[in-house]
Amino acid sequence: MKLKACLINSVLSLFAGSKMGKGKLQKFAEYNAMEHTFDAKDTHLKGQWNELVFKNNNPVVLELACGRGEYSVGLAALYPNKNFIGIDIKGARMWKGATQAIEQNLFHVAFLRIQIEMIEQYFEKDEVSEIWIIFPDPQPQESRIKKRLTSPRFLDLYRKIAKKDALVHLKTDSPLLYEYTKEIIAEQGLQIVEDCSNVSLLNPKPDFLQIQTYYEKLWLKEKRIIRFLKFSLNK
């Protein structure tokens, strides 16, 4: 904690008075100073998240490309018997969720600032029970298909850290990503557990789909259709 406090003081002193320092850089420094935030140096947590971070034996759930971390916090509020880790590369974004977790006394949510491609370095085999992917970049260009978070490349990566019965949840406004994911599910012989082509039409709507990120609220104002898939990671 002393090291983190030193870092935040140094950064804030360096950028004191500047607009940049009071915005993104200040958030980044504050994010780094929090006890429940981690980054690339924390490879020692691999296989020990429950023991060293959460101090319990509850299932570990990941939200990939979590952005501001609002969904991780929302899920943590709904499911106190699960541990949630939001993963993204931008600490200034995750500052929002990390701050909300503190304000709501949610001690079973943490954040990890790494590239998703690196997750095998931070989680042991069978350490992850569930994966959420909320409004990821659909990577619409043909040349970027491999970067889609539900592509075979990423599903293979998830299998290296997830339990055999792990489920993947995808929430998206992209019809392209939704249909693409269903194609991959079929190709790999996986099972679709839930398939909703328009979340707004659900009545009643499950609590976990009532959580709305900042951007989802904007997209709903634009009359975009929100889609949801839950599917098995293994045959």
* Active-site hit among 137, 165, 195, 207: 137
Contact predicate 209/78, CB 8 Å: no
| Residue in 231, 123, 120 with CA at minimum distance from that of residue 167 | 231
Burial pattern 126-145, b for ≥16 Cβ within 10 A else e, equals: ebbbbbbbbbbebbeeeeee
137 labelled catalytic? yes
Cβ neighbours of residue 167 closer than 8 Å, sequence gap 6 or more: 130, 131, 193, 230, 231, 232, 233
Using DSSP's 3-state secondary structure scheme, residue 171 falls into: strand
What amino acid positions are annotated as catalytic residues?
137
